[in-house]
Chain A
Amino acid sequence: MRIRRDRALSALILLPSVVAVGVFVYGFIGWTVYVAMSNWNSFVPDLSFAGLRNFADLFQTPRFQIDLGNTLAFTLTFLAGCLGIGLLLAVLLDRQIRGEAFFRNAFLFPMSISFIVGGTVWQWLLNPSTGVNLLLESAGLGVLKSPWYTEPRIAIYAVVIAALWQMSGFTMAMYLAGLRGISDELREAARVDGASDLQLYRHVIIPLLHPITLSAAIVLGHISLKIFDLVFAMTGSGPAFSTDVPGIFMFETTFRGNRFAEGAAISIIMLVMVAVVIIPYLIYSTRTEAEA
Chain B
Amino acid sequence: MGRGRPRATRVLLYAVLAFFAAFYLMPVYVLVNNGLKSFREVSLSRMWAPPEQATLEGFGKALRELAPNLRNSVVLVVPAALVSAALGSVNGYVLAKWKFAGADIVFPLLLFGMFIPYQSVLIPLVQFLQWLGGLLPVPLYGSITGLVLVHVVYGIPITTLIFRNYYATVPTEIVEAARIDGAGLVGVYRNVILPLSMPAFVVVMIWQVTQIWNEFLFAVIVTSNPAQQPVQVALRNLAGSQIVEWNVQMAGALLAALPPLLVYVFLGRYFLRGLMAGALKG
Contacts and interface: CB of A to CB of B under 8 A. Distances in A.
B273 to A, nearest CB: 10
Contacts of B152: 20
Interface string B93-130: 01100101000101111111101111111111101100
Given A173-B272, A282-B111, A267 B260 contact: no
Interface of A: 2, 5-7, 9-11, 13-14, 16-18, 20-21, 23-29, 31-32, 35, 85, 88-89, 92-93, 95, 97, 102-103, 105-118, 120-125, 127, 129-131, 134-135, 138, 165, 169-170, 173-174, 177, 215-216, 219, 222, 225-226, 228-229, 232-233, 246-247, 250-251, 254-255, 260, 263-264, 266-268, 270-271, 274-275, 278-279, 281-283, 285-286, 290
Contacts of A103: 17, 20-21
* B interface: dominant SS: helix
Nearest to A211: B281
Which secondary structure dominates chain A's binding surface?
A: helix
6 contacts: A27-B124, A29-B121, A105-B265, A120-B253, A228-B119, A278-B115
B13 to A, nearest CB: 6
A92 B184 contact: no
5 nearest CB pairs, A to B? A114-B214, A226-B117, A267-B119, A28-B121, A112-B264
Contacts of B221: 255
Given A28-B121, A124-B30, A247-B119, A92 B45 contact: no
B117 A270 contact: yes
B185 interface: yes
A188 to B, nearest CB: 13
Given A120-B235, A274-B117, A285 B280 contact: yes
B44 A121 contact: no
Contact of B124 (A32, A85, A225, A266): A32
Contacts of B253: 117, 120-121
